[in-house]
Chains A and B, each alone.
Chain A
């Protein structure tokens, strides 16, 4: 009954999460996540290390099985479908991994063309054209014969985006797009995400803990903490939020130096003194 209700009340959502729980063994990582992603919007999932945001992303692309709850993606509950159906959905989504995850034994061109060669019956000349187009879109035109090991970190990430775009996905997922990049290169990747958003009206979901990048690219944000959704809203709503957790997260990153040095010192010495007491 609940399922039908959701389908009726949220007909336009691209992705709907309903009470999603994910566990590794005995420990539950996500404790009942609920939110919707609208078509064409860029949703940024924020959270600290160990908050469960990466697990959430892995669950959304079907790499982890939820222990309970529903994930409605393009009208199907991917928490309860066969692997064949899941693979059909996967052809319509693209994922850019944190380190790029390019296949080291293949050239950049072969990497990008792989999904096309595997899933389509396009002629080789057509694939070549699509390949050049996708590499051009991410600013890597002319790099098709390079091996991934010959590329810099930022270029690897761009190549990974080109591969994720190969099948013209409707939804694009990014895992920590600016992790491990210097600020200028990271800004370039942010710019790329903005361009994709404007040019293709793709639904984009980004997991990150980089606040500057998050506020630049997001339409809406979700803050995850200890496996729960703490807050969800537009960038403006997040910025002006008075929710203590949101403030703590936003301000902590904005001011990495601990302001109350005395408190900090006291905390350290307390810790220090206690065992010797």
Chain B
């Protein structure tokens, strides 16, 4: 009896949380697509500043990480492929797993660490110091002013970062291919491109857009629901990272399954 009520409670809590995220996303979508036609312009300047911070700022660390991931993928797949004398399939293995899965996922995780946590900390601090209240008393909607530019920035920058991450991963794989598996740089890149279908890239990019929405929604929601006191900001930030990683993996699973069953037909 106890167990079933507990399960029931956590399920309803989880659904309520998802509902809150969806309503936040919905209001951001309203301010992006509908409000501009009602004379409330989108804060493009703020979105661009945000995009520079979350996107361009992430490039160095993301490049390094995905280059290493590409190299690791090459090493791991070579370990198995070598047994069949199929080392010339390393390029295919790396290209497909990067674009379909690891490019979007690693990008999302780097962005969660850099930006998702920053959103929660920024908005949480503003909540604690009554800056959110100040916005409201000035008749400025915090969702429009703070959250919407972040949504726009993330939904544009995450696919861009993912494309970059894919390329860096393939480059990492190429380092192994050229030094260990008799590829030339040109031939490695060419066989990577040959191995890929457009579908592999687009499914990854679709996922990355949804990841961007998820990370922004969680980061901003955690920030906005920060309680009173500085230690609450720390709590919100931690929760933002943990919940974002969980939800990104969940979304990844759902979309991967969806793409799998759709391509079956």
Chain B residues whose C-beta falls within 8 Å of the C-beta of A103 in the assembled complex: 126, 131, 134
C-alpha gap A95/B130 in the complex (Å): 11
Interface of A is mostly: mixed
What are 20 A-B interface contacts by the 8 Å CB criterion? A58-B133, A63-B133, A63-B136, A63-B137, A90-B138, A90-B139, A91-B139, A95-B137, A99-B130, A101-B131, A101-B133, A102-B134, A103-B126, A103-B131, A104-B126, A104-B131, A114-B140, A118-B138, A118-B139, A118-B140
13 extra interface residue pairs, beta carbon distance < 8 Å, beyond A90-B136, A97-B130: A58-B133, A63-B133, A97-B133, A98-B130, A99-B130, A101-B130, A101-B131, A102-B131, A103-B126, A103-B131, A104-B125, A115-B139, A118-B138
| B140-A99 in contact (CB<8A) | no
Give a binary string over A38-74; 1 marks a CB under 8 Å from any B CB, 0 the rest: 0000000000000000000010011100000000000
Chain B residues whose C-beta falls within 8 Å of the C-beta of A119 in the assembled complex: 139
C-alpha gap A102/B47 in the complex (Å): 21
Partner-A contacts on B (CB < 8 A):
125-126, 129-131, 133-134, 136-140
Interface: A79 (CB within 8 A): no
C-alpha gap A114/B139 in the complex (Å): 11
Q: Pick from B126, B131, B133, B137: contact of A93, CB below 8 A.
A: B137
Chain A residues whose C-beta falls within 8 Å of the C-beta of B129 in the assembled complex: 99, 101, 104
C-alpha gap A115/B145 in the complex (Å): 12
| A62-B136 in contact (CB<8A) | yes
| B138-A114 in contact (CB<8A) | yes
Partner-B contacts on A (CB < 8 A):
58, 61-63, 86-88, 90-91, 93-95, 97-99, 101-104, 114-115, 118-119, 163
Nearest CB of chain A from residue B128's CB, rounded to whole Å: 10
C-alpha gap A30/B66 in the complex (Å): 57
C-alpha gap A26/B125 in the complex (Å): 27
Chain B residues whose C-beta falls within 8 Å of the C-beta of A98 in the assembled complex: 130
Chain A residues whose C-beta falls within 8 Å of the C-beta of B138 in the assembled complex: 90, 114-115, 118, 163
C-alpha gap A88/B133 in the complex (Å): 16
| Nearest B-chain residue to A95, judged by Cβ | B137
Chain B residues whose C-beta falls within 8 Å of the C-beta of A93 in the assembled complex: 137
Query: What is the count of residue pairs linking A and B with beta-carbon distances less than 8 angstroms?
Result: 49
Chain A residues whose C-beta falls within 8 Å of the C-beta of B134 in the assembled complex: 95, 97, 101-103
C-alpha gap A119/B129 in the complex (Å): 23
Nearest CB of chain B from residue A83's CB, rounded to whole Å: 8
C-alpha gap A260/B130 in the complex (Å): 40
C-alpha gap A95/B139 in the complex (Å): 11
C-alpha gap A227/B125 in the complex (Å): 29
C-alpha gap A101/B110 in the complex (Å): 32
Chain A residues whose C-beta falls within 8 Å of the C-beta of B125 in the assembled complex: 104
Nearest CB of chain A from residue B74's CB, rounded to whole Å: 43
| A90-B130 in contact (CB<8A) | no
Nearest CB of chain B from residue A125's CB, rounded to whole Å: 19
C-alpha gap A90/B139 in the complex (Å): 6
Nearest CB of chain B from residue A184's CB, rounded to whole Å: 25
Chain B residues whose C-beta falls within 8 Å of the C-beta of A102 in the assembled complex: 131, 134
C-alpha gap A90/B140 in the complex (Å): 9
Nearest CB of chain B from residue A196's CB, rounded to whole Å: 17
C-alpha gap A90/B130 in the complex (Å): 16
C-alpha gap A87/B40 in the complex (Å): 13
Chain B residues whose C-beta falls within 8 Å of the C-beta of A94 in the assembled complex: 137
C-alpha gap A99/B134 in the complex (Å): 11
| Nearest A-chain residue to B134, judged by Cβ | A101
Scoring B130, B133, B140 by chain A CB atoms within 10 A of each residue's CB, the highest score goes to: B130
Chain A residues whose C-beta falls within 8 Å of the C-beta of B137 in the assembled complex: 61-63, 90, 93-95
Nearest CB of chain B from residue A193's CB, rounded to whole Å: 18
**Minimum-distance CB pairs A-B, first 6:** A90-B139, A87-B139, A101-B134, A101-B130, A95-B137, A97-B130
Chain A residues whose C-beta falls within 8 Å of the C-beta of B136 in the assembled complex: 62-63, 90
Nearest CB of chain B from residue A262's CB, rounded to whole Å: 39
Chain B residues whose C-beta falls within 8 Å of the C-beta of A61 in the assembled complex: 137
C-alpha gap A88/B138 in the complex (Å): 10
Chain B residues whose C-beta falls within 8 Å of the C-beta of A95 in the assembled complex: 134, 137
C-alpha gap A61/B133 in the complex (Å): 10
C-alpha gap A97/B126 in the complex (Å): 13
| Nearest B-chain residue to A61, judged by Cβ | B137
